[in-house]
Every structure is written in structure tokens, then in C-alpha cells.
Amino acid sequence: MRIRLRAKKLNRLRGFGYFNIIILTIFAVISIMPIVFIINNAFKPLSELFMFPPEFFVKNPTMQNFNNLISTMSDSLVPFSRYFFNSIVVTSISVALTVVFSSTAAFAFSKGNFPGKDMLFKLIVVSLMFSPAAVSITRYLVISKLGLINTYAALILPQLALPVGVFLIKQFMDQLPKELLEAAKIDGASTWTTFYKIVIPNVKIAIGTVMILAFQTVWMDSDSSALYMISEAKKTLPYFVTTLTSGLTNSVANQGASASAVLLLFLPNFIIFAIMQKSIMETMVNSGIK
């Protein structure tokens, strides 16, 4: 009887495991469909881009969209390389400074002791609910009052406040035992030495995740160039992509070039995420985000 009961339990567990695999496979397929669509869209001829009802998969793949993109870039008043250079500079500086500010703020909230600490952290958590569009007017007013319109600082400074970065890194720092920091203090290590040589190496996974989130936010940002930049030579690559379909004529003729540009803009995000997805998953698990 016991053997039969155990066999039944094993069969139930196997059945439940198969059911989980099927469900997860369905969710995985649904999640990957937008990526497949972006790739297919880049190779569709104009006849398929404007087909109704629209087709998900490309039937007659073509490289003409990429040729049109190259032609559009060569006819642009500002060289494509300038937009690309601006994006690289702005993204690199923004990601580096975001990691510095997020990690130092998280260290203060996790291991520091100062008046209003709990209230300030609650405000950071509340700010996670606000989308960038909700604070765009406020950001513009601040940038304008500081006299930063048409400067690279206008593209960088608004990106440095990343509440989710502070939250994720703090969750990791909370798991570090106080005895470790106290031992470093007894050995004569200063607060900054403890932070850089002990705390940071133990939260590298969270920092890697914050770097990815910051990169995705800044790299795909086209609104900042439209709002804060006057000179075309200081605008970024995502803004250039949005201009490909601006105007009545370009909205039709440049759809193919726009689709190929979106794919090229998306690829760095996809590659970085694919390489560092393990860090992201571990961060989400250890931070309590399910």
C-alpha cells in the first residue's frame, strides 16, 4: 500500500512538473514574440509593412530597408556618426554616474543612521510609481532654471536619479552582516574604504543589474533630445530614428528605414541583456521582487 501511495505521489508530482513546463513554455513564447516581430519587421518590403490585415512574419525578406536607411543617413544634414557619438557619450556617462549615486545612496540607507532615513527611503519607493512622463514638465523647468538647455548635461542629469537602482542595491546591502563592517572598522578601515573594498564586491550582481536598467533607459531615450536640445548636432540616435517617419511624405516612404533603424537600436539592449540575464534574475530573487 505504501509503495502504491508513493507511486501515486510521484506521478502527481511528475504531472505537475509537466504542467509547469507547458505553462512556462507558453509564457516564454509570448514573451519572445515582440523580439521576433522587430526582427521580421526590419526585413519586410513596403508592401508587407502596409498590408492589411498585417502579417506577423515576413514573406519576402529584403535588405532594401537597410539600403534606404544608409541613403537617408547620407542625406542627413548631421552625420549619422554624430548622433551615434552623442548617444555613446551620454549613455556611458549616465550609466557610470547612476551606479555611483545609486550605490552610495543605498549604502547610506542600508548601513547609515541619520534623521529622516526611513521617510526618505519611503519617498524613493513611492517615486517608483511615477512614470517619466508624469515629471517631464517639472524636469524641463528645473533644466531651464539651471541654464542647461542645449547642453549635454541636460541629457545626463535627469537620468541620474534612478529610484529602482537605489532600491535594488539597498536590498542586497541589507543582507551583509553588521559584524563584517564592524570588523573592518576595528581594523582601521574608513567608511569609504569599507564601502569600496568590502560592500561593493559583495553587491556586484545588483550593480550589474542597475547598469543594464540605466543603459536601457538612456540608450532608448528620444524625448530628452526633443525637449532640451536646440542644436541638431547635440541630439542622440533615438531622436534621429523618430525623425525618419516625421512629416507626411516620410511617414510612408521611410517606414522601411525606420524599421531597420529600430532593429539596430534594439540590438545593443538585447545583447547586453542576453549576456547578463543571470545577474538580473539573481538580483530580482534576492531583492524580493517576484
Residue 290 has a pLDDT of: 40
CA distances to 137, 154, 156, 210 from 101, rounded to whole Å, are 23, 17, 13, 11
Q: What is the CATH number of the domain that holds 120?
A: 1.10.3720.10
Side-chain half-sphere CA neighbours of 263 within 13 A: 20
Q: Is the dihedral of CA 158, 214, 255, 70 positive or negative?
A: positive
Classify residue 200: in a domain, yes or no. yes
Of 289, 284, 110, residue with least CA distance to 199? 110
Is 273 part of any domain?
A: no
Lowest-pLDDT choice from 102-111, 163-172, 216-225, 274-283: 274-283
In a domain, 29, yes or no: no
Domain that residue 90 falls in = 80-243
The answer to whether residue 213 sits within a structural domain is yes
**Interatomic CA distance for residues 211 and 75, integer angstroms:** 35
Which residue, 205, 215, 203, is CA-closest to 272? 215
Residue 59, by phi and psi: left (phi above 0), alpha (psi -120 to 50) or beta?
alpha
Q: Domain for residue 69, yes or no?
A: no
Q: pLDDT over 90 for what percent of the chain?
A: 7
Prediction pTM value: 0.79
* pLDDT, tens digit, 9 for 90 and up, residues 89-104: 999 999 999 999 999 9
Out of 168-182, 192-206, 274-288, least confident range: 274-288
Which residues, at least 6 apart from 233, have a Cβ–Cβ distance to it below 8 Å?
Answer: 78, 82
Residue 218 belongs to some domain of the structure: yes
Instruction: Give residue-wise pLDDT tens across range 172-187.
Output: 888 888 888 888 788 7
Angle between helices 255-286 and 2-42 (to 10 degrees): 150
Q: Is residue 239 part of a domain?
A: yes
Cα-to-chain-centroid distance, residue 273:
9
Number of domains in the chain: 1
Q: Residue 73 domain-assigned?
A: no
